[in-house]
Structure 1
Amino acid sequence: MNIALIAHDQKKNDLVQFVTAYKDIFAKHALFATGTTGSRINEATGLDVTRFKSGPLGGDQEIGALIAKNQMDAIFFFRDPLTAQPHEPDVTALVRLCDVYSIPLATNMGTAELLIRGLEMGLLEWRNVVKENGDVNGEK
């Protein structure tokens, strides 16, 4: 499965620790991340991470484009709700695309824990059926 890893500055350490804790599960999947987040995860875990631009420079939009093409299966986006983000419209658009295309999205440690356990248990296998059928939000 294709998994995106994104974190605002104040949440990067949390995401790195989370991926480190579940490294064995993440290692079974293709990982994608925005700039600095991807570098930090790679350095901490040794996992191969395809990196896009940083969020403010379009990385969120690059991941959003993959969602719209049915090429992303889950998103771990540790957001900082207490700090204003200069690219907030991009963040909102990414969350919206996850809702439009039914992509599981964890925005905090609590939902991330549930999503990673679901991934481990094979509960996201329905994504493979969607991709095989070419059915993206009712479009073929």
Structure 2
Amino acid sequence: MRLGLAANRLHHHTEDAALFRWLRACEPGIRDLRLALHAVGRTHDAIAAAGMLRGYDGLKRYPYGRDGGLMKLVAEVVGLEGAERSLDGAIYFIDPVDPSSIFPEATALKRQCVIHGKPFLSTVASARDWVEMERIHAGLAPDPNADRFHALESQTLALIAHDAMKPQMLAFADAHFDVLSRFAHRMATGTTGLRLNELAWSRGWPQDVPWVERFQSGPLGGDAQIADRVLEHRCQRVIFFEDPHVARHHEADIQLLERAVTTVTDEAVCTTSLAVAKRWCEAVNKRGILVGAT
């Protein structure tokens, strides 16, 4: 697999920056998976200067961002000629107050990942969780250092879907109801929450107990309400099925939630792709069987 890799300056400027925290936790998994990392200039240079991934031929250097490095990642997420010019997703450690995080190429990188159903990993927690997911699918033993990402019974999950994505969210929740029901608490915005509760009751969930806590609809502030829970470390995972093809009149609220997730980069996992969400649920089940067998 090939992933694009970029990090805003905050996340590679010091020894304990987010990029290096992720690499220390996941370098064995990266090597086990033979994961190719196509890193934008300064990100690549920071990894090399820190002496990380030494001798690993899967680390590829791209131009600096100002010279089009991030733009090239966007094009390769879409797909260019030949397998060598195609990326399976992107890791972009975002500093929410860095102006470059809202440059057109940064926004396009996420949008094209969403459109093409590929992982867009913008937090340390998301990137660590993804590596563990792929390790499990590759048949490798569970990493005990990733146990906290699978402690669902002590976590809160947010389920959000734009109008065109609501049928996909309902189908996803129906297919993976048992995994999602393991969370200590679930919440959702507006109509999505109403339909998810109706689904749960139809499956035998107690009629007097909501399966999800309902917040306001997105346009009325539901995204902001959930963002507050994320910032307070009261929501550890967000599954957000976005519709990238229409203009959203509450775009600022959507960006607010995304900025909240990246602010608590080590704590919050965010999934924006239906395909990735399904693959994660499958990994949860496989990992549970492997842990139970040890």
TM-score (norm 1): 0.81
Aligned residue in 2 for 1:28 = 182
Residue 130 of structure 1 corresponds to none
Q: Are positions 1:98 and 2:98 aligned together?
A: no
What does 1:1-140 correspond to in 2, within 5 Å? 1-29=155-183, 30-46=185-201, 48-102=211-265, 103-120=268-285, 121=287
CA distance in 1, matches of 2:194, 2:284: 23
Identity of aligned residues (%): 35
**Shift in Å at residue 115 of structure 1?**
3.4
Instruction: Indicate the SS of the match to 1:15.
Output: helix
Q: State the alpha-carbon separation in 2 of the partners of residues 54 and 118 from structure 1.
A: 31
Q: Deviations over 1:13-66 (max 9, x none)?
A: 100100110000111111100010011111122251100000000000000000
**Separation (CA, whole Å) in 1 of partners of 2:186 and 2:264:** 19
Q: Distance in 2 between matches of 1:90 and 1:53?
A: 12
Deviations 1:70-116 (A, max 9, x none): 00010011000001111001101111211221211111212212333
| Amino acid in structure 2 at the alignment position of 1:28 | R
Structure 1 CA distance for aligned equivalents of residues 191 and 272 of structure 2: 18
Q: Distance in 2 between matches of 1:78 and 1:93?
A: 16
> For 1:105 and 1:113, how far apart are their aligned partners in 2?
13
Figure out how many residues of one structure are paired with residues of the other and give that number.
Answer: 122
Partner of 2:104: none
SS in 1 for 2:173: helix
Give the whole-Å Cα distance in 2 for the aligned partners of 1:84 and 1:69. Answer: 29
Distance (Å, rounded) in 1 between the aligned partners of 2:161 and 2:233: 22
Alpha-carbon separation, structure 1, partners of 2:280 and 2:256: 21
Consecutive unaligned residues in structure 1, runs of 5 or more = 123-140
Q: Which amino acid aligns with 2:279?
A: L
Conservation of the 8 A alpha-carbon contact between 1:104 and 1:115? no
Higher relative contact order (CA 8 A, sep 6+): 1
Distance 1:17 1:54 in 2: 20
Which protein shows a greater Rg?
Answer: 2
Instruction: Extract structure 1 runs of 4+ deviating beyond 6 A.
Output: none
SS in 2 for 1:81: coil
Alignment match, 1:136 = none
The alpha-carbon deviation at position 118 of structure 1 amounts to: 4.9
Query: For the Cα contact (< 8 Å) 1:10–1:80, is it kept in 2?
Result: yes
Name the CA distance, whole Å, in 1 between partners of 2:168 and 2:232. 29
